[in-house]
Each structure stands twice: as structure tokens, then as C-alpha cells.
Structure 1
Amino acid sequence: MVNFSVDQIRELMGHPKNIRNISVIAHVDHGKSTLTDSLVSKAGIIAGSKAGEARFTDTREDEQARSITIKSTSISLYYEYSEEKGGPKTPYLINLIDSPGHVDFSSEVTAALRVTDGALVVVDCIEGVCVQTETVLRQAIAERIKPILFVNKLDRIFLELHCALEEAYQNFRTAIESVNVVIATYQDDLLGNIQVLPETGVVGFGSGLHAWGFTIGTFAAMYASKFGVPKERLQKKFWGDNFYNSKTKSWTTKQVDKQGKKLPRGFCKFILEPISALFEAIMNDEKDVYPKLIKKLKIVLPKEAEGQSVKPLLKSVMRTWLPAGDALLGMVVTHLPSPLVAQRYRVENLYTGDLKDKYATAIRNCDASGPLMMYVSKMVPTSEKGRFYAFGRVFSGTVGTGQLVRLMGPNYVTGSKKDLFIKKIQRTVLMMGRYIEQIVDCPCGNVIGLVGIDQFIIKNCTISEGDAVDASIFRMMKFSVSAVVRVAVEPKNAQDLPKLVEGLKRLAKSDPLVQCSTANTGEHIIAGAGELHLEICLKDLEEDFMKGAPIKVSKPVVTFAETITEKTEMTCVAKSPNKHNRLYMYAEPLDSDLCREIEDGDITENDDIKTRARNLADNYGWGIQEARKIWSFGCAPDAKANFLVDATKGVQYLNEIKDSMIGAFMQATSGGVFCDEVMRGICFKLDDVVLHADAIHRGAGQIMPCARKAFFACQIKSKPTLMEPVYVVDIIVPQTAISGVYNTLSQRRGTVEGKTDRIGTPLTQITAFLPVMESFGFTSKLRQNTAGQAFPQMRFSHWQLVGGDPYEEGSSVNVIVTEIRDRKGLKAELPVFADFYDRV
């Protein structure tokens, strides 16, 4: 039975001190959804016996069928919690978001983290911290999210590995230390000390599948009366190098006593030993042993446990003795911040406007009576196909049904009308996993779904009151993956083309990362993070957003980038069509670290010119004057890091052609001369300009074609090549199957970067770099070569140069350029310098 009503939730929404907004994050298959079931069952939404099997937050059919989370799912849960047994109970509202673990769906994790304040990090006790664990944890700290840790799948230690208790402890310690290394690496001073230390109760242990779990505090409370020692003191003894001498009944930090006898570690003796004894007795069906143990531990089994034996009985005993829901709830309530606390230090990360204005102040204070400020992080499809709930977090004020609001998109600039809509909200709904509940309004500190504004939002937006003309938007989310894999789609039946166009618009809304566009050739392009991401997007497009209309899909293709490797050997000259204007230009390659900073958003076109110039001068050796005269970054929709710099001296009328130059620069960088792929890492410098005295002869029609010719001439004359995207691949494999991994990587141009053996397990973690171009079918080939024992995780890492000269027939880059030109319907012959260079 559900333990609460919607009215109780709505009442508690007005008490931000008692609210916790949390995301569940982890590597794929580490047990997030099964663990989440324990919290859902504690709230009475599913039966306790179903916890770990129902995967309640996997709401889609394909999620249940594949046993993988694809979309993050929000659910609001009401609990009454008492810090001491039998003490007064305090009501708490936990807004929980279960997020995917597969790297292809990392954008869903980013969207979930933006609207939460705490993160429950789940780690498999055998596999430990994997690549995706580190990625999501890094994202969480960047968003100033406080983590707590749950070491999952402890049942495998006792049922599969049968390792010694000391060895199990070392496994747990390694996993926890690895998490703390990641936290220390990306530490944010404003978050304070967020190291996860078991003795403080911030780390839980257990099995999500079997729905049992505990913290060290759980056992410290059990033993406190027996030892006659305060719980807090025992907690410190139950972790680390604390050993118990049962003869002298005393604690020591030395593992060997005076007689040379090895002493048991506190964690092993008082926590793992009783669990291990219970597991052994029940799994061996020792009917003369385990009933005594159950009685001794004062476990009162439910009626459904009568007649059970072996595994079903073990599950019933463990979840009755150590319910995971209790341990998780205690950790969340005690150690994660309320919106009242979290928004004080998160406001700087979130709000782009003046941090002293009334909006920032209201966000900082989580003020329900202040001006409305809400961030919509993602669009959730409704049961009515083609419509969406705008899902987000209210950071200040109150949002309600019928309210007139300003919808400010990511390109909105305060005071302008670009990317702005003023509309009424039709309904406010509470997201409850597979269901929704209607409520009248929602105060700040809570997550909520809005109905009736979906057609005005593409992916995310900031919402404020209808008359808040001076409000600024929230910062854009930074994704840890890039949409580097593309397919072209077309309808099988020509009459379905309008359905495809409409379906692509809806698909773009449904996923935070997917990019839908129309190429110059007229193709409809869908870009995603990887094969699985594209597969899910195409399934959604065909079944949900096109109402079953069949589509044809091209082979996956990779986004390349055109670049240069040397400074232009001679200044290139281009004349305008009327021969009255001349542009003298050269190009230089940009530093790869600088490119990365620009693409990560650390250096932007809107930065203060002097500050940015000083940064470029100090870190990248630029001249201050040149650094101050950067005209453009080339912010075309898909453009990468490029610069257009004014390096001229004493040129007349230069400002009059600046806009035309920038326009031509954006066109050129969005499609280079070789294969119409975006440019990356090129700095074009305007060396000199000769302009006609009469303004009518130096308009955009004269300057833009001339500038494009100059950009392309510089590119051809600066040792041009292509850059390809590269995945970092994290492969977990038993040591017996390592040779199959090396063979598969060598066949696919992969390079091994590191190999780590997992202590206490037969597993090895291999880290390698693999070109995205070679990644299609890599997973199936790897499993084939390792008899299904290897499990790879791929995510975008960096761009690397493709070897060779594009003009040398048969070279790697020449083959790729020729293929791309053929696919795009461009001329077979490569462009040459003479086509673009105007002799003086």
C-alpha cells in the first residue's frame, strides 16, 4: 500500500528544509534501478518482495526487455524518518531521479544532475570504479552536487567469489579509495569536504537485487548496548586498521598480538562474519543452524517466507534483517543537503546574470515568495504521442496552473526578443515514475512537470514571470559526450515526408543530446553519441513520433573536421569580383589545449576582451594586441574552435567590412574546402586589406566571396589534413580472454593505453583509444573474439589527426576525403590552390 497521498506531498513541498533532490548515478549494470526499488518499496509503491526485480523506474518496454536504463525517470517519495529507534518521526520528501549508466545516454545524467542537489553513487564491489563512474562523478562535482556512495552487489562476494573476509574488505576499500581519488581530483572548495568515508555513515553496503543494505552506523547501533559504548565510537572502530582482541576484549591498531596471532579486523569480525555465517548456513540448507542464527539476530520473518528455502529464504531473511530502504533513507536524509542549503553555493554555477540582483538573491535563499526562476532540463514524452512535459526544477518563486510565464531559450539575451515566448501554463504535474499526479502549483526547491508549453521549447529553457524583463537565463548544461555518429533518414513512402519532418522535430525535443538537421544535399541527418544511442533514437522516431510510418536509414557515418598542420608558407591574396578590393591573409594551427578549452566553453566569444587576451598571452604565447583583436570564433551551428584575427595595421574602412568578413568566416568554417566538413583548430589572420574608396564598391556582395576564397586558399596552402573523433574504450574482461581484446583492437586501429588488474578478482580493466570510424560493430566483434566475456564502454575522448596528404593518392586521408566527397555528391577532383588564389 502507498504510504502517502498527493496532498501530503504538496504540503511538504512548502518546507524546503525537509526536501532532498537526488540523482542515482553509476556505471552501466552496477545496479542503480534495482537499488532504487528499495526506496520505492519503502514508500509503499511496490511490494517489498518485488524490490530488486520490478525495476519500477525503468518505465519503457525496451528498458525492461534490455535490462538497461535509457531515459532518466523522476519519482517523488514521501517518508517519515526517525534518527533514533522509537524517536519522533519527521516527514521528508525525496525527489529521486534514476539515470542511465550507459555512456551513450550520458546527456540524460547531465539533465538529471542539473535539477538535483545530491547524488547516490553506486559502485559494483567487484568491478569497482569504471570509466563511466568517473565521468558521472566528475559531472556531479562540476554541478556542485554532493555525493554519497553505495557499494553494491555484496551477495556476489559470498555466493560467487567465496573470498576471505579480509580480501572482501580490501575490495571495498579499493573501491571507496578510487571514488575519493576522483573526488579529490575535481574537488570544488565551495562544496567543502565531500570525501566519502565509511565511518561517518556516508557509505552504504549491500545488494540492490536482494534488497538488503547497511551502513557502519547500522551495526554500530546494534552493538552499542552490548559493548556499552556510544554508537559514534564504535563506528570509528568498525572501519580501517582497527583489530579486536577477543581474549583481552580490547581494540588495537596492530594486526598481530604479542603471541604473534593474527587478530580479526573490526569490520570483518562484527559485520561481515555474521552475514557470511547466515549466507553459508542458508545456502547449504543447514536446517539445524540457520533457525538459531535467525532467532539470535531477532529477525521476525514475514508470512510469505514460510516454506522458503535456499535463495528465496536468504533474500527474505536479509531484507528483513537489513532493509536497504532504511539504510539508503538514513544516508540521504542525514548526509545530503536540502535545497535551502544547496542553492546557496550552487547559484554561481547556475545563474548567468548579476549575482546580486533580485533573481540571484531569491535563488540563493530558495525564496518561495520571490520572483519565479525555473530551469527546464529535459522534455519527457507524454502518453499522448507527440506531446511533452517540460520537466525541470523551480529554484525560486512558485509556478502554478494558468500562470503567465516567460520562456527564455538558450540563445536569449536579456532585454532582447530573440528566443523568447510569453505563454500560459496549462497544468502542473508531479512525475511519479510511470504515472503522473496533478497538483495546483509547485514552490521552489522541487522538481515538476509543466503541460502546454512544449511546442515553444526545443530542449531546455529558463522560465520566469511574464513581466520579468530584466531576468537572465540559467547556464547551458555541459555534456560529457558529443554527437559524432550520424545517419541519414528518409521515408520509404514519399507521402510520409511531412511525418518525417514533424517526427524529427519531436525527436530533437525528446533527447537532450540528439541533433536533427537538414544537409545541403537535402538529406535529413540524425547525429547521436554512439550506435546504441542512434538505435534508440531511430526506434523512437519510427514508432512514436512518426506513428509507425516506415523509414530507410543509411549506414552510420562519422563527423570529421578539416584542419591544418603548419603556418601558411606565403600570404594568400584574393580579389573581390569587381577587382577593386584585395584581402591578404594567412593561417596558423591552434594549440590543441586551446581548442579543447573553447569547445568546453571555458573560453567564449562573450568573455571580457582584456581578460581573455591576458589568458591567451600567459598560457598560449599570444601577443596581447593580436589577442585583443579576435573578430570571431566562427559560431556556426556545428563549428569547432577557430579564430578570425585582425592582424592589420593602419587600414582604412576596416570596420565597414568586419561583418561581411565574419559572415564569410562562419560559412567557410562550417564547411571546409576538401569535403565540406567543419573546420577545427585554424586561426585565420588578416594581414592587409586594400579597399575601394567608395563604399558602394566594398559591400557584402564584394567582400564575402572574396573572403571565402582567401580562407580556402590559406587552408590549401597550410599542409591541410583531416581530424577524426576518437573514443576512449574501457573494457572489463577476465584475464583468460585478454588476447581476444588485443586482437580485436589491432584489427580496428585501436591503441592500448593502460591495463589494470582488479585485486581479488579474475577481472582486468583495459583502457584503449579507438577511432569512432572503426567502432561500428566493434562490440559484437569483441564479444565474438572473447566468447562473450568482454564488456566494452565507449565514450568520446578527443580529436586526432588522420595521417597522410590529401593530394597523395592512396593515403589514409585521401581515401577518407574521396569517400566523403563521393557520398556528398561533390566533384571527384580535389580543389587546388590555383582555384582560389588571385595573382597580383
Structure 2
Amino acid sequence: MRLAWVWCTRRAVRHSVKVPRRLLSAQVNPQHDRLSETTRNIGIIAHIDAGKTTTTERMLYYSGYTRRIGDVDEGSTVTDFLPAERARGITIQSAAITFHWPPTAPQSPPPQLPPTFDTIPRSSIPHNINLIDTPGHADFTFEVLRSLRVLDGAVCILDGVAGVEAQTEKVWTQAGHYHIPRVIFVNKLDRDGAAFSRTVKEIGVRLHGWPAVCQIPWWKGGNGDFVGVGDAVHLRGLLWQGSADGSQIKAFELEQLETTDTQFADEIKKARIALVELLSEHDDLMVEHFLEHDEDHLAIPGLQIMQSLRRTVLQAPQRIIPVFAGASFRNIGVQPLLDAVVDLLPSPLERPDPEISIENQTSTLQQLLSAAPKPSVPAKKHKKTKDALDIAEVRNLTACALAFKVVNDTKRGILVYIRVYSGTLDRGSVLYNTNLHIAERAPRLLKMYANDAVEVDSLSSGQIGVITGLKHARTGDTLIVYKGLQMKSQPPGGLSSLQLRPITVPPPVFFTSIEPQSLSEQKHVQESLNILLREDPSLHLSIDDESGQTHLAGMGDLHLEIARDRLLHDFKAKARIGKIEIGYRETITASTPPYTYTLDRPIASKPAKAAITASVDPILDTSFTPQDAILTAEQQSAACKNVPYESSYALPDNSTLHISHDGLSRTDSSTHKSLLPPHLSLPSILSAIHAGASAALARGPFNGFPVSNTALHITLDAAAHLYPETTTTALSMATRAAVAHSLRTASETSPSVLMEPVMLATVFVNEASLGAVVQDISSARGGQVLSLDSPVSSSPSSASSSPATPRDTEDDDDAPIIDPTQIYTPPDPFASGTSSLSSDLGSSQRQIVARVPLKEMVGYLNHLRAITGGRGTFVMTVDGFEKMAAQRQREVVEAMREFV
């Protein structure tokens, strides 16, 4: 106990307790919205097979939404409604569903909110919960990312037997990147081998936070079956008995437990003492409550404990992690977890303002709205602050929303899932898409209940809903509503450039070929592919110019397998699908002299003529990370040099484009009229050159893979290269031809080399199989083992992109290193009393972090299970692309020729 520490701080409470760095509630929107106050937008995140969908089914049942509990094995769950999900028993597509907790009667009036929640818990008032059940498989990481983008809180579910698994660390890190408050539910405590104590310690060590144990397991007779939980917050025991569906819960106060189960009552007291001391280190008010109650840990009311937990959970970065216990399949622990969701996780009003970009400036949505002058204030009297955004048209902005998901429904057509961040979106409103610069009307608004829907008249700020009938909206598009906006008009001023923070799409590493069975099927196949790509932006489509073959690329073999099944079975497309292959890159090794290409031929039956000069140089850095392939508008803008007669752009795959346009200034357009044809402008010329160069790099001269690590130099001489017949299309085609010729010349001068994707693999095995797995990775597969039983902080190619470093993406340099000996946990009844702490954390499962070429990891799961007796698991993600050795390159090229 650290009671002495608390006693020493009695006289200097406010000086000794660290003040939280930033409370999310400090940024609450001043316009109090009753619906937003009683709304929770949460997600269920976890490793595959941890019990996400099973827990969701129990939540729906206890809330009164369903009358029977669905089963994953039977394929009767509400959220896993796709045929592929029910056939495989896994979640593939995140499903949104809305329910109330505590349950409310149909057609009941909205709850009456009290002036403050100081005297009653939030969970005593019905709340509207928008829940998203996310996938756990690594191939569907993008599905998790776009769901996290719009969430306000998350419930992370852990397998009480497996503990903190690899994919759990990954999704935890992704949630931390968006500063999403999280609670943890330790599931499957009814299974043989469940170890609550070890799992809690792994939370501290691997998730870099202090576990606040709010519930402890209740074992029948101290070492028997799992029958309930001990509530350290309210000092009671909760026993599930009397019904098979878990709807009957009997509560035992601490005084009752002291007479019937003394050992369990004493453990609840220890859990309460540890909880109060942990909260006292991170919350000033908890120390004050402790002193007000004569330093008695047990005398502090449970409501004050819950309020302190809420304050620490809403701190950013989150250092306190509330931990709850249960077994969803046995229907134990789900109702208290729902109470914790309402009591601890934030409402939309308590979340930070969303980041935006507008007119090449970055800000937040609330700052933008507050900076707009009021109509009653004259413009000359409106004082602007130093950093205020001077966009008067913002005062007419009535709603702003983000499209985070697009789904093709067989009955309702295209469904666009949105999160409203400002204002109210009404049915029939005209929406302006600031990404595509297109206006569309929203004919219907829906609230989704998994595969069912209810039509609504409006969606207010903080709500998640669906718009039907939109023809163009994609994942990541920003949709705004503006007073006076018509279908064919555009918002005035800079409002058309307003964009919420986009969703980053990771690069694909696998691809397969798709060919229609006949020419008559080509249109249907193309339309089906377009729908697939609109639904899932992590899929990429490309066409081989020489063979005319269509290639579909994705994040993994399972990802592509699901896309193939949907194409053939859901869309009924008649096509031949090729073997799944790896997406390599290629790069040049020699420079070329300037080459001028002149295009002089009709385009679309009209004469066209243009010329361009190009040369290429290799970039000596022979490796790049996936982040190099993802470019935002801000990054491209920053890449441009402040030289008026030159323009520079960053291209995908670590390539660059430098355009020299002597005589044509980007800052002074006075000379453009004399040098440019009247139908051309410098921005349109630069855009055409950029498009042509990007198209040329999409297919390399060596083996048709995208070109990486290449510097392109383009020279535009307005007098020699531009003609009266020059069009932007002609310029783009001339650029593409010139760059392609230079790439071929470089490849002929010195052979190009292939670059292969290298994966960062985290493998979990038992102690007996550790040596065999390490030898297999390092010898047979040519991998490099980076660490054992600890997350890796850097890698040879990327020190900041590794998914096994949660601290890297938390945007926080002082994430604590947790000492597991300082974490309170109740004893596990089946744990060995002689085992040391290190063996508790490592003997049952060892973690191997290694970098292995992707080619060697295809089909690795079956091999891993063979050498580990079926107990090994792993997760991997792209860590970078690296130059291949000559021998490996020859083997890959020969294998590809055999495939052709």
C-alpha cells in the first residue's frame, strides 16, 4: 500500500498531484444539445476471436433490441450479416447499430436530464448508444481505421486466456492516435487457463497505461467456476444465477460477503484501496475526497470513484485504463460493462474539435465557426485575432459531416455512412462534396440497426447515420450544407475547400488479375468493380497497358479472397480470377540525359501537338516505408519549393517530380498572356504534367511494376514546347511518353532492380516452440528477428512506422514504462504460487518480432501451426519496401514468367 504517500501529501495536495495535461471536457461545445449529451458513439475493438461480436450480441439482447441471443458459430448474429462473415465466423465489415441503455419503452419521451450528474450516475438516465462492431483480422485494418475516425470512445476486449495479443496492440495504438478514450473488458474468464491477473499486468506492460481494476473475478468457492464479479467501485459482489440468459443478477453488499465469503470480501477491499490510490496519483479531486473521508478508502462513495475514473479516462493522452471482467458467452459481466460505457466514455460534446483544412490553412471546426463575423456586426468593426480564419461565408454554414463508409445494399442501393460534426442535416438537403466539388441531394436519412434501418427526418451534431441515393460520395469525403446552395451552384469564397481530416488509406501489397468471361460481361464486371472500390478504398484497380489485363490489389490474401467472393457471388459477375500475387516495386539504377518527345497527332478527331523534355535519376535511398506512398494535400504543398519558375511535387513510392518552367512564374502571371495559348493556364499545365508523370511511373520498364525511388526532371519551354494546338491532354500524353522513354533508357543502361515488401511480423508461440519458430524465421525465410518478448522501437527501414510501437503513434514522447510489480491484481486461483512474475508474463506465451519478406509469409499460418502444435498465432503489417538481392530477384522473375 502507498497510504504513507497519501498521508505525506495531506498538506500539499495541489502541489504534489500532477494536474492532467488536457481534459477533453475542456473543449465542450457551449451549445448544449440534449440529444448529444445522452449519446455515446463507441466501437468494439480487439484481436480476432476475442469475443467482439459475441459481446455485441449480449448488449443488443439486454438492451431489448433483440429477443434472442445470436451465436457466431450458428451464423445467427445481428452484426455479422454478410454471407461471407457467417460462413467464416469472423467480422469482415464493420456494422453500425443503435440501441438504448438502460432500456426504454417504445415511444417513450426523451429523458429529463438533471442539472448535474453530481448526485446520480449517468447510467440511471437512458442513453442512445451508436455501436460499431469492427473486424479483428489484420487484413481489414482499414475497416477499423475508418470506424475509429468517427468514434468518441471504444471498448477493447481481451481474451482472458490469450491476454494482450498482437492485433490488440495494433488497434489500441490506432485508437490512441485519434485520442479515443478506452475501457477494457477481459472476456472468456470461464475458459480453462483464464488468467485475469496475468492479463491485467500485460495491459500495463504492452499497452503502456495503468490498469484501474474496477472488477475482479468471482470464482465459486475461491477456485471453482467463474460465477460473477466483485465490484471495487461500489463495494459489492454481483452473482449471475437463476437464468440461462444472464438477465438475473443478485447483488451482495460488502457486509453480506464478509459473513459468507470472507476471502472474496477482503479481495474487494484490496481492489478498492488500490483503485483509490491509483486515481489519487492522477486526479486532484480524488485526493480531496480521500482526505474529506478521514483517509478511509472504503468510505468514499462509489459515485465519486466513478466520476474520478471518468475524469482520468477523458485525459489525453490516457494513462488510466479501467478494467472490467466477464464472460460474454456465459452471459456474465455485460450489463455492468454497458453501465461503464455510459458512465465513463464521453459524449460527442466532450470530444476535441475535429481538425479541418480550408484555403491551405489548418484549424479546427469550432475555431472556424467562432471566427465567422456575425451578420449584425459591421465588417469594419469585426476584430480579427492574429490566427483567426477570415472567411465570412462560414456564418451561412448550416451542417458539416464526414462520409466514413460506403456500402452497397441489395435492397436500398448505395448507403453512405456519415458522422455529423456540426449543425443539423435534414432530409432533402442539398449536400456539397468539397472533395469532388459536386452537389447532391440527400433524399432519405436512416438510422442503422445492423442490416435493418429506420428512416428519420434529420441527423444532429454528434449523430451517426446513413444517406441513401448519393451517386458520388466516397469514403473520406466532406459534406457540407450551405444556405442558398442549389444543385448546380457552388459555395462562395473558401467554403468549397473546407475538408475534415481525411482517412489515410494504406498501400496494397497483394494483387490478382480479373478478366471478364466474354466481351458482353465486361461492362457488368467493371461496374461491379467500381462498387467494390467505392465501398473499400483500400482496394486498388489498375490496367496493364500492354496486355489490357485488369489487376485488383488489396491488403492481404484474405482481403482479396473476400473481394473475389463478393464479386462472383454477391454481384454475380462472370469473370476469371487469377492467382493472388505480391505487388512488388521496381527502381532504376542509372541516370539519363534530357530527352525531348514531340506529340503531333489527332486526339478525339482534333489536331493536337505538344512537346516536353524529361530526364530521370535514381534516388539512392533503396528503401521506403508505406508512409512515403501516402501523400496529403498539405504534404504536397510543403514539397513545393518557393521558386517562382520551378515546381516540385512528392509522388507515391518515394519518387519526386521537378518541373522547370522558365519565363512562367507561379507568383506573377503578367507574362503568361504572351507565352501561353489563350486556352491554357499555368496551373492546368502543371496539373497535366503531374498526371502524365504519375501515369508513366505506374508501370515500370523492367517487369511492369510501379516505379519507386526515382527523381523525374521535366523542362517546359513555353516557346518551343507549346503550340496553338496544345491541349492539357496532349501535354499529359507527351509527358507520359517522355518519362516512359527515359525509364526504358535507364533500364537498358543499367538493369533495373525489384523492391519487395517487407513485413513486420509479431508471432506469439509457447515456450517449447520458441526455438523452432526463431530458426524458421531467420534461416528458412530469410527474416531478421528484432526482439523477443518486447515491442520493437525502431527498424532498419523505419523508426516511426512500426506498428509494434504504440508509443510512436500516440504523439506523446513520455509514455510511461509500467513496472508490473506496481500493478494491483487479484490472485488467479489456478496460477502456480512459486512462479515468478517474469515467467507469469512469458512462460505461457512468447512474443517474437521480426522483419520478413512478404513472399516468405504467404501461407505462413499453416506452417506456424504445424511447428507449434496448432498454438501459434501471428499478425503482420507492411514495414517498408527494400531492394532485393540478385539471387532472390532471379527466383521471383522466373516464377512470374512461369505464371504468365
| TM-score for both structures, normalised by structure 1 | 0.69
1:572 maps onto 2:593 in alignment: yes
Structure 2 distance, partners of 1:724, 1:438, is: 49
Q: Render the CA deviation track for 1:637-657: whole Å, top value 9, x for unaligned.
A: xx4221123689999999989
> Could you say if the C-alpha distance between residues 316 and 64 of structure 1 is closer, same or farther in structure 2, counting changes exceeding 3 Å?
closer
Q: Which residue of 1 aligns with 2:190?
A: 155
Q: In structure 2, how many angstroms separate the alpha carbons of the residues matched to 1:516 and 1:754?
A: 37
Secondary structure at 1:799 match in 2:
strand
User: Match for 1:325: what amino acid?
Assistant: V
Cα separation, 2, equivalents of 1:24 and 1:435: 20
Amino acid at match of 2:129: I
- Contact in 2 for aligned 1:599/1:640 (Cα 8 Å): yes
Distance 2:454 2:661 in 1: 63
- Code of the residue aligned with 2:43 in structure 1: it is S
1:423 is displaced (CA, Å) by: 2.4
The 5-angstrom pairing of residues 493-508 of structure 1 reads 494-508=519-533
**Does structure 2 retain, via aligned residues, the 8 Å contact 1:125–1:172?**
no
Partner of 1:723: 755
The SS at the match of 1:607 is helix
- Are residues 582 and 486 of structure 1, via their aligned partners in 2, closer, same or farther at CA, if it must alter by over 3 Å? closer
In the TM superposition, what is the alpha-carbon distance from 1:363 to its structure 2 partner?
Answer: 13
Matches within 5 A, 1:240-389: 319=331, 323-344=332-353, 346-347=354-355, 355=363, 360-361=368-369, 371-384=398-411, 387-389=413-415
1:177-256 correspondence to structure 2 within 5 Å: 177-180=205-208, 195=209, 197-198=211-212, 201=214, 216-219=232-235, 236-238=272-274
Distance 1:689 1:75 in 2: 55
Aligned counterpart, 2:710: 682
Aligned mate of 1:432, from 449, 452, 455 = 449
Per-residue Cα deviation, 1:205-258 (whole angstroms, up to 9, x for no partner)? 799x999666632546866667999x999755145999xxxxxxxxxxxxxxxx
Say which is worse superposed, 42-51 or 426-435, in terms of deviation: 42-51
Distance change in 2, residues 1:734/1:490 (3 Å): same
Aligned counterparts of 2:370 and 2:158: Cα–Cα separation in 1:
36
In the TM superposition, what are the counterparts of 1:801-840 in structure 2 within 5 Å? 801-804=883-886, 811-817=887-893
- Per the TM alignment, residue 777 of structure 1 is displaced from its structure 2 partner at its CA by 2.6
Q: Is the 8 A contact 1:378 1:392 kept in 2?
A: yes
Q: Using a 3 Å threshold, how does the CA distance of structure 1 residues 707 and 102 change in structure 2: closer, same or farther?
A: closer
Q: 2:656 aligns with which of 616, 631, 643?
A: 643
Shift in Å, 1:803:
1.1
Q: 1:175 to 1:529 in 2, by over 3 A?
A: same
Indicate the SS of the match to 1:753: strand
Structure 1 residue corresponding to 2:145, chosen from 97, 104, 110: 110
Amino acid at match of 1:324: G
The 5-angstrom pairing of residues 688-707 of structure 1 reads 696=723, 700=731, 705-707=737-739
1:67 aligned residue:
89
In structure 2, the residue corresponding to 1:198 is in which secondary structure? strand
Q: Secondary structure at the residue paired with 1:679?
A: coil
Partner of 2:29: none
Alignment-derived partner of residue 422 in structure 1:
439
| 1:37 positional shift | 2.6
Question: Structure 1: which amino acid aligns with 2:885?
Answer: G
* Alignment-mate amino acid for residue 461 of structure 1: D
1:792 to 854, 868, 874: 874
Does the Cα contact within 8 Å between 2:624 and 2:882 map onto a contact in 1? no
The alignment partner of 2:703 has SS state of coil
| Structure 2 counterpart of 1:773 | 855
1:451 match: 468
Check 1:204–1:425 CA distance in 2 against 1; reply closer, same or farther (3 A cut). Answer: farther
Residue identity opposite 1:557 in structure 2: E
For residue 605 of structure 1, report the CA deviation from its aligned partner. 5.0
Describe the SS at the equivalent of 2:587: strand
Contact 1:35 1:211 (8 Å CA) reproduced: no
1:251-291 residue CA offsets vs partner (Å, 9 max, x unmatched): xxxxxxxxxxxxxxx99xxxxxxxxxxxxxxxxxxxxxxxx
Preserved contact between residue 393 and residue 448 of structure 1 (Cα < 8 Å): yes
- Aligned equivalents of 2:371, 2:627: Cα separation in 1: 29
Greater relative contact order structure (CA < 8 Å, 6+ sep)? 2
Task: Pick from 627, 637, 642 the counterpart of residue 607 of structure 1.
Answer: 637
Counterparts of 1:123 and 1:113 in 2: how far apart (Å)? Answer: 18
Secondary structure of the 1:28 match is coil
Higher helix share goes to which structure?
1
Question: 1:672 aligns to what SS in structure 2?
Answer: coil
2:128 to 93, 106, 109: 93
Give, in angstroms, the shift of residue 76 of structure 1.
0.8
Describe the SS at the equivalent of 2:163.
coil
Shift of residue 575 of structure 1?
4.6
Q: Which of residues 162, 167, 175 is equivalent to 1:132?
A: 167
Displacement of 1:602 in angstroms is: 6.9
Provide the residue aligned with 2:433 in structure 1: 407
In structure 2, relative to structure 1, the CA distance for the partners of 1:97 and 1:352 (3 Å cut) is farther
2:197 corresponds to which of 169, 180, 200: 169
TM-superposed CA distance for 1:124, in Å, is 2.3
Instruction: Answer yes or no: is the 8 Å Cα contact 2:188–2:327 preserved in 1.
Output: no
Take 1:786 and 1:702, find their aligned partners in 2: how far apart are those partners? 57
SS in 2 for 1:381: strand
Q: Give unpaired runs (5+ residues) of structure 2.
A: 1-31, 104-116, 220-224, 238-251, 259-264, 279-296, 299-325, 373-393, 486-490, 601-609, 666-674, 790-838
Aligned amino acid, residue 543 of structure 2: T
In the alignment, the residues of structure 1 paired with residue 515 and residue 696 of structure 2 have an alpha-carbon distance, to the nearest angstrom, of 28
Kindly provide the amino acid, as one letter, of the partner of residue 90 in structure 1. Answer: I
CA distance, structure 1, for counterparts of residue 526 and residue 329 of structure 2: 55
Which amino acid is 2:841 matched to? Answer: I
CA distance in 2 between counterparts of 1:437 and 1:210 reads: 39
The C-alpha deviation readout for 1:521-567, integer Å capped at 9, x for no partner, is: 22222211111111111111111112xx54321111221111246x7
Separation (CA, whole Å) in 1 of partners of 2:371 and 2:558 = 38
Q: Is the 8 A contact 1:351 1:475 kept in 2?
A: no
The answer as to whether partners of 2:587 and 2:618 remain within 8 angstroms in 1 is no
3-state SS of 1:572 partner: coil
Change (3 A) 1:497 1:714: closer
Partner of 2:617: 587
The answer to whether the aligner puts 1:764 opposite 2:846 as a matched pair is: yes
> Where does residue 632 of structure 1 map in the other structure?
649
Does 469-478 or 597-606 show the bigger shift?
597-606
Amino acid aligned to 1:29: D
1:399 is paired with a residue whose SS is strand
> In structure 1, what is the Cα distance between the partners aligned to 2:359 and 2:52?
30
Give the equivalent residue in structure 2 for 1:555: 579
The whole-number CA distance in structure 1 between the counterparts of 2:129 and 2:226 is: 22
1:598-652 deviation per Cα after TM superposition (whole angstroms, max 9, x unaligned): 434478554346xx76xxxxxxxxxx989x9552334xxxx42211236899999
Report the alpha carbon displacement of residue 36 of structure 1 after superposing the two structures with TM: 2.1
Counterparts of 2:766 and 2:365, CA distance in 1: 57
How many residues in Structure 1 have an aligned counterpart in Structure 2? 673
CA deviations on 1:414-461 (whole Å, 9 max, x unpaired) are: xxxxx23322222111111232122222111110011111x3234442
Match of 2:51 among 31, 51, 56: 31
Higher alpha-carbon deviation: 711-720 or 778-787: 711-720
In the TM superposition, residue 98 of structure 1 has moved relative to its aligned partner by: 0.7
* Inter-partner Cα distance in structure 1 for 2:98 and 2:88: 25
Instruction: Give the CA RMSD over aligned residues.
Output: 4.7
Distance 1:760 1:406, change over 3 A: same
Cα drift, residue 18 of structure 1: 1.3
Question: Deviation per CA, 1:281-310, whole angstroms, max 9, x where unpaired?
Answer: xxxxxxxxxxxxxxxxxxxxxxxxxxxxxx
- 1:29 is paired with a residue whose SS is coil
Match of 2:606 in 1: none
Judge which range, 584-593 or 693-702, deviates more. Answer: 693-702
Query: Which residues of structure 1 form unaligned runs of 5+?
Result: 1-11, 181-194, 243-265, 268-313, 413-418, 614-623, 805-810, 825-840
User: Is the Cα contact below 8 Å between 1:37 and 1:52 reproduced in 2?
Assistant: no
Q: 2:421 aligns with which of 373, 382, 395?
A: 395
